A = this chain, B = another copy of it.
Amino acid sequence: MGENEFGIREGEVRTELPARFDASLYFIGRIRTPWKARKDCPKNARESEEVCTIEVDLRFVRALECVETCSHLIILYWMDRALRDIVVQVPAHYGKARGTFALRSPMRPNPIALSVVRLIGVEGNRLKVVGLDCLDGTPLLDIKPYFASTDSVPEAVVGWHAG
């Protein structure tokens, strides 16, 4: 059974992580959601129409100028409770071993999660958005405008998932 809240399952493979880190991050805000425990989070972000709040630290509030003109944003956040050394994992809802880079699991060498959200509005340092599935209090790393011209690929296929 699991070693931590995420668990290590039969068929999963760990690697030896590098001896030292190469770069560092600032937490630039917090994400406020209705979900206080992992079991309560939606399975994926399109499963919920819940409006969540992104609180940006005041020192970065001017970086939000013009963000209100964006219909959609890319949100990067930090999955700070995830194991980082799992290279092959067995997602509970599929039951088959997959490489970490073929999955959106929070367990990855750099646990940066990414969600595409619909922007409802901006008030000061707070953004109201739809499309998040993370725990309340999750650390924010970045906000980017979503450009359909480069970010949207409607025909994209994840073969192992479709099969």
Contacts and interface: CB of A to CB of B under 8 A. Distances in A.
A26 B150 contact: no
A56 B101 CA distance: 11
Chain A, interface residues (CB within 8 Å), range: 35 or more
A68 B160 CA distance: 9
A139 B102 CA distance: 19
Contacts of A115: 150
Interface centre among A80, A156, A157, A163 (most CB of B within 10 A): A156
A160 to B, nearest CB: 5
Interface string A25-37: 1111000000000
B102 A71 contact: no
A120 B51 CA distance: 38
Contact of A109 (B28, B44, B110): B28
A59 interface: yes
A92 interface: no
A87 interface: yes
A151 interface: yes
